[in-house]
Chains A and B, each alone.
Chain A
Amino acid sequence: MSILVDRDTRLIVQGITGREGLFHAMGCRDYGTQVVGGVTPGKGGSTVEGFPVWDSVRKARDAADCNATLIFVPPPFAADAIMEAADAGVELIVCITEGIPVSDMVRIKSFLAGRNSRLLGPNCPGLITPGEAKVGIMPGHIHARGNVGVISRSGTLTYEAVWQLTNEGLGQTTCVGIGGDPINGTSFIDVLSLFAADEKTEAIVLIGEIGGTAEEEAAAWIRRRLDIPVVGFIAGATAPPGRRMGHAGAIVAGGKGTAAEKKKALEAAGVLVVDSPAEMGARVAGALAS
């Protein structure tokens, strides 16, 4: 089993005629994902690298029955692209775009309320169910099928964790990047509850960062609802307060959102917190062996 994406995922790429969009559409197809086409307003009716292009998400949905979309639209237009996909009823919207204004995300969240679409991201690497579907920009070959679920606010740090797991002989059910922005579509708790309901997932790696309280909220949920081992790492213990560390959401502000607070909350919830990012994989192996 897995969560969110699998062999039945029918993916479109919004912004498919752009350099990034096309590159990753091909990367997802090469991995084995059913990429049924893409959307670029004004380029409907054309074909790129064998992908049919439509003018709108609704037309794509009507023509190809897509149930997921991967968005590479530039920041000024990304909010519109997300809302268009939700309006068309696409079940899973994955937004890779980095740099969407926070106020746009505030509006997007209220637009999505009451609709059936789930947004993952923005500013995320996407998600992958090894051996079945890759909906994102991660390198597919570092993953392996298995029993560990991975959730992260980061991109390359997630690859690091996955690589460690794979080298320990531990495959993954699904790896989900929820993104590094202050407001995102899907939270740690959303993904944790999906993993909790997935029989195949026997352990979870949770990778957080400084800033906000998402990890603390996740900790409270884990304590009440989860009985499989969770290994946690929080990046940014050495980050100075008041400085945004690359990701828009990674900032210790008003004395809140420090790595120390987050580690404490996770430990109190029974999460196996590692101080060293080099020990994520080994710690999962240890937890599953005992």
Chain B
Amino acid sequence: MTLLENPPEASAPDRPVKANWFRLLLADPAAFVSALILLLVAFVAVFGKRLAGDSAVTGDLSLSRLAPFSLDHGWQYVLGGDLLGRSLLGRLMVATQTTMSVVVPVVLISLVIGASVGMWAGYHRGWRETVAMRIADVVYSFPSLLMAVVVLYIFSPSIASIIAILAITRIPVYLRTARAESAELQTRLFVDAARTFGTPSGAIIRRHIFPIVLPTLLTVATVDFCYVMLAESSLSFLGIGVQPPDVSWGLMVAQGRDQLRTQWWLSVLPGLAIVITTVSANLLASWVRIATDPGQRWRLTTPRRRRRAARPTVLETT
């Protein structure tokens, strides 16, 4: 939270009345680059398998252990080859698809379930709130990996069971956020007004509470995207996540581990892909946090020169 003692004048002439989202994004170069990187990741996740073609599946043994950063064997081998002469870049692109096909469903499922139950519990208060929160506490107070370990032992690790277990462990995050906001919102006047008109509670939650909670939930989801990605790659790295012949970034780091002495890139580069993606998502999340908060949006809309002048009056309180 930021407390402004002296906010810059809101009606400065050179400032657009309503800043659009694209301009807000351009105002933060780091967030802009992050958004581009995430778009690239999304593009590769969708089309990567087609682009990589055969080079990711059938190896050319003459290119085995090819060192990275040379264009001699075509763009596919720019990141080198693995033990079987498969292109590392091609495998990375295929892995993007697997990783995203775990991470995106997990984030969506936990967001939808957590947000609906959380808003419902916060709106009604009473026993519904207590029961929902107790269950969330139990799930949350336990290390997620420990739970995943037991479940993935009993149900053999498949993409569906990884999605299920990761989604369950992440639901409490959204549930808590949604409940807190909705419990506060349901005491407000406009909700009272809707109630007086006889609006059913489901419609109030959908029409009046959901739109206000959504920005917060999206910020949480962006940060959680990183968490889920790290969790998926940890499981795959440990051998209880994505299983060969499927390939994910975490699994690639694990597979390259034995060749660390001779071919460091097999392990180091897939990990770097994870880091670049998570850093981008985190930077974008901090932009979303500022852009959706009317109290802080001036940081993006005010020109840098004036911003610097305004900065000393900002008192950070957390």
Question: Is this pair of chains taken from one and the same complex?
Answer: no
Chain A residues proximal to chain B, CB less than 8 Å: none
